Structure 1
Amino acid sequence: MKWEALDDQLTPRTLRLIAAIGRFGHLSRAAEELHIVPSAASRRVSKLEDVLGTDILNRQSNTLSLTNVGLAIAELARHRAEEIDALQADIARLKRGSTVDLKLAVSGPVIFGGLPEQLRGYLRANFQVRLSVIEQTTDTIIQGLLAGDADIGIVLGFHPSPSLDFVLYRADRLGVVVPPDHPLSRKAALHLKDIVSEPLIVPHASMIADLLEAKASESGVGLQHGIAVSDFASICRVVEGGLGITVLPMGISASEVAKRGLVCIPIDEDWARCDIYLVTRNNVEAGSDIAGLKQTLLA
């Protein structure tokens, strides 16, 4: 392999294309997201495969999936895209003057809802703010707020603390997400006993995973875990591929579930209520940038 040739092919646009194919499972949808005609997108993939001497895509079915090499490139693409986006934002803000750094820590499923659009509107009106958004588990977010490592958190469930202010962000309820041809998709509601024999895909140590384990233990049953997925952003794609089922807050994940053509069935248990809270430290000053972001998110 000629590394110089590989450098020529691994452009930011091609990296974004590979990552988008992994998310959508379709080259045409990935090309549309990047405003590339499908034929040009196909050529980009083929040229990169020629340089690598191996396949990036599995092409045996109606939908595309990434090979192990493709997954490695997609992970690189994610990091590279974040770096480029951060650089572009930094340059824009440096042109305008001084900046204020804010850190927003969110529980994984929250990103599926309207949060990105809320943040876009806020940043357009507050060019002085440089915002970092970090996906973490609920427990880690609470600890980070208490330690001063984050300014605002959005978490699943209410976790009272004398040092933190919890305000309802979204009322929600847990539901089971399955492919449309799955037997459970025809149910109007589900109970825990209905899913214990299914391969369950949830990030380890997340609030949802811990809750399901606790309720299964109380019921004297064991859960069947599917493949390990480290973040909620990848879960719906994995479920779409027929590798298992997952559990998500129904309201906040509705758009992602619909986009994937999946079905979400409510869990008819008292413990399945999963309200989402916006959390800050108690000493937030009125009129501060943190208070402004909080007000935007709660609007």
Structure 2
Amino acid sequence: MQPYPYTPSPYVPPAPARKSGKTWLWVLGGCGCFSVLAIAVILGVILLAASGGGGIPSDKQAYVGDWSGSDTTLSIKPDGKVFWERRKGSGSSKVENLPIQRFIGDDFEVGVGPFTTRFAVQSPPKLTAGRWTMTVEGVQLTRAGTSSGGDRSDDNRSGSDTGDDTPPGGGGQLRDLKMARMLDDDDMQFTSFFTTRDTRLTCVIYPRKLEIGENYGSRWYAERVPRLSRNKLIGEVDFPTITQKTSQLTGIRLSLTSDSGFPPGVYRVEVVKDGGVIGTIRFTVE
């Protein structure tokens, strides 16, 4: 905004009836430029904050999801809001619930108005061996669970639908691995985001093949949860030994429950087959 154009009037001896008018002119002339500019900046910041960013462009949807790496956590929501935390020694840097303003190539800027932070992306999201990875600020991150949290209630999917963001692991013994919120006994919503009001967390395992006599189970960890020790084991859930009848199943559900819900943080589930870990998935409670 250009400075307010002010040209002082020729001097006129003050009259009592015009004292207030000259005071008003002095306010506008003496500090008006600064005041108008400050008001414009404040209004601009308010308008930008209200807009909350423009969401995620269609060609950048692979960025959406929960990412984690060495002492680093990144969460990008579908509406463009970002949570970032990077721990160094006893300190940490953190960005909480701020919108992505724009993408610059593979990089993205986060913040409000003129106050932004640019995140350098050395390697954009890519799918390698069933895992989505990207490198941000020099840290390689791996995406957990599904990125969209979409509602897919069909539990009996074909083997061709492997889910491109699932980390199967275990030499490919799993064709899919998802976290889900149970809506009722038969319907569920796949998601990697839960709330503290959720009292039941479900891990859904899709083995490539179930054999009679096999044993599947899960170990649940509070990976980064305030007031809990790092990687604290909070529960183990096992599935009965596979029988002739259950060998026909396409998926196995393993649920961890808590009447009081779960505290906010990052969690991890390890899927175990006959004592060996064959898959890992992370999720977030907010």
> When the two structures are superposed, what TM-score results if normalisation uses the length of structure 2?
0.26
More helix by share: 1
> When the two structures are superposed, what TM-score results if normalisation uses the length of structure 1?
0.26
Larger radius of gyration: 2
More strand by share: 2
